[in-house]
Amino acid sequence: MIQRTPTGIEAHLAEDGRSWQQHLSESITSPEILLQRLGLAPEEWLSGAQAGHQLFPIRVPEPFLARMRHGDPNDPLLRQVLPRQEESVRMPGYVRDPLAEDRAVQTTGLIRKYRSRALLMVTGQCAVNCRYCFRRHFPYDEQRLGASDRRQVIDTLSASPEINEVILSGGDPLAVNDRLLAQWAADLSAIPHIRRLRLHTRLPVVIPQRVCDALLKWLSQTRIPVVMVLHINHPAEIDPATRNALGYLRAAGVTLLNQSVILRGVNDNVAVLESLSETLFEAGVMPYYLHAFDPVEGAHHYDVADEEARTLVQGLLARLPGFLIPRLVREEPGRDGKTPINLFP
Ligand SMILES: *Cc1c(COP(=O)(O)O)cnc(C)c1O
Ligand code: SF4
């Protein structure tokens, strides 16, 4: 089934000589080092970074850092990971669990909001901590899956014939080792009514080395189709190593989609969004969702109002073919699926 060339992936890994596990454990987790590596003045940025770091720790892997412009505090990649003073400012209307996921937990690790799809949180860990993340306050420790929870999840899903798709999520599901993921894929695809397996991940983007032989092996051997929804917000996130990694995933038969969040100072610009869609397509990834901002506490400085988001997508309609236009949506607690935002109200 697998169509990729094994030599290709070895060449790709050799470029930098570090495994994804090394990159994961050697990520930058200190405000001082992040500023120093990018040549940014501590007098200006350190106190905000430290305050934010106390609320939600900094985490930036080296391959992602390497794509940022040195000395530019407004770099669109850096802006996603460097806490600013604004994080510590409480604003009315910005809450800890904007999507009410706490209430949707069905059994440990299993979040059930929609009829046909269930979300399985296989880990709380991420490879990068994005400051605007709507799960930044989620109580992951309560959702850690032990062996008996695993059994419980499989039993629950087996007894729920209306669920036809399981979404591995987190955290970032690809932060988990391939032995465990292969086991999940085998167990889930053995349930007769499960027709698709989906992964929501940012890892192939921030650490392209994650697309290793072991991952490609279980992906290509899974009995049911695998869909991977990446999370890329700006075209500069896609460098040659990422493009290669995405090519290997495609060759392993994985359908690649992308979701972005509209973010002030990152992609609140029609030319950037146009370039993002074009760059994704060139890398074999179809734009899927553009999420309206979720009002999470500590991230109000990223908020883009619906009206402005609408104008941006209207701009895309004039510049791109329909298949490269992401759907502008919002997640609203209690709905049957994502809510489309009407472009011409
Ligand atoms: C977004 C989301 C999904 C997937 O929704 P799709 O519209 O199928 O992409 C599933 N479960 C939860 C809890 C979600 O937030
Ligand atoms: S990788 Fe995804 S889940 Fe993790 S912090 Fe970023 S947005 Fe949140």
Residue 206 has pLDDT above 80, yes or no: yes
Question: Domain tally for the chain?
Answer: 2
Structure confidence at residue 32 (pLDDT): 98
Q: Do 66 and 121 sit in the same domain of this protein?
A: no
Residue 20 has pLDDT above 50, yes or no: yes
Confidence grade of residue 42 (pLDDT, cut at 50, 70, 90): very high
Of ligand 1's listed atoms, the one at least distance from the Cα of 101 is 13
Tell me which residue has its CA closest to atom 4 in ligand 1.
Answer: 117
Instruction: Give bridge partners of residue 231 from the DSSP assignment.
Output: 259
Q: Do 80 and 117 sit in the same domain of this protein?
A: no
- CA–centroid distance, residue 118 to ligand 1 (Å): 8
Rounded Cα distance between 35 and 27, Å, is 14
Give domain status of residue 1, yes or no.
no
Q: Do 76 and 110 sit in the same domain of this protein?
A: no
Q: Pairing state of beta strands 117-121 and 110-111?
A: antiparallel
Least confident of 11-20, 223-232, 330-339: 11-20
Give domain status of residue 10, yes or no.
no
Provide the whole-model pTM: 0.94
Which of 44, 67, 88 is at the close of a domain? 88
Structure confidence at residue 127 (pLDDT): 96
- Residue corresponding to tokens 């209307």: 93
Q: Do 28 and 149 sit in the same domain of this protein?
A: no
CATH code of the domain containing 128: 3.20.20.70
pLDDT for 305-337, tens place per residue? 999 999 999 999 999 999 999 999 998 888 889
pLDDT for 67-117, tens place per residue? 999 999 999 999 999 999 999 999 999 988 877 777 778 788 899 999 999
Q: Do 58 and 124 sit in the same domain of this protein?
A: no
Residue 268 has pLDDT above 80, yes or no: yes
Q: Is 207 in the pocket of ligand 2 (CB under 6 A)?
A: no
Ordered strands of the 117-121 beta sheet: 105-107, 110-111, 117-121, 165-169, 196-201, 226-231, 255-261, 286-291, 327-330, 339-340
Q: Do 155 and 69 sit in the same domain of this protein?
A: no
Residue 144 has pLDDT above 90, yes or no: no
List the domain range (segments joined by +) for residue 149.
Answer: 96-340
Q: Do 84 and 106 sit in the same domain of this protein?
A: no
Give domain status of residue 12, yes or no.
no
Which mutation among 58, 82, 128 tests ligand 2's pocket best, with the greatest number of atoms within 8 A of CB? 128
Instruction: Tell me the CA distances in angstroms from 155 to 87, 104, 111, 117, 180, one per residue in order.
Output: 41, 18, 15, 16, 18
Residue 10 has pLDDT above 70, yes or no: no
Q: Do 199 and 311 sit in the same domain of this protein?
A: yes
Rounded Cα distance between 245 and 249, Å, is 6
- Residue corresponding to tokens 């994650």: 210
Cα torsion angle, 220, 224, 227, 228, sign: negative
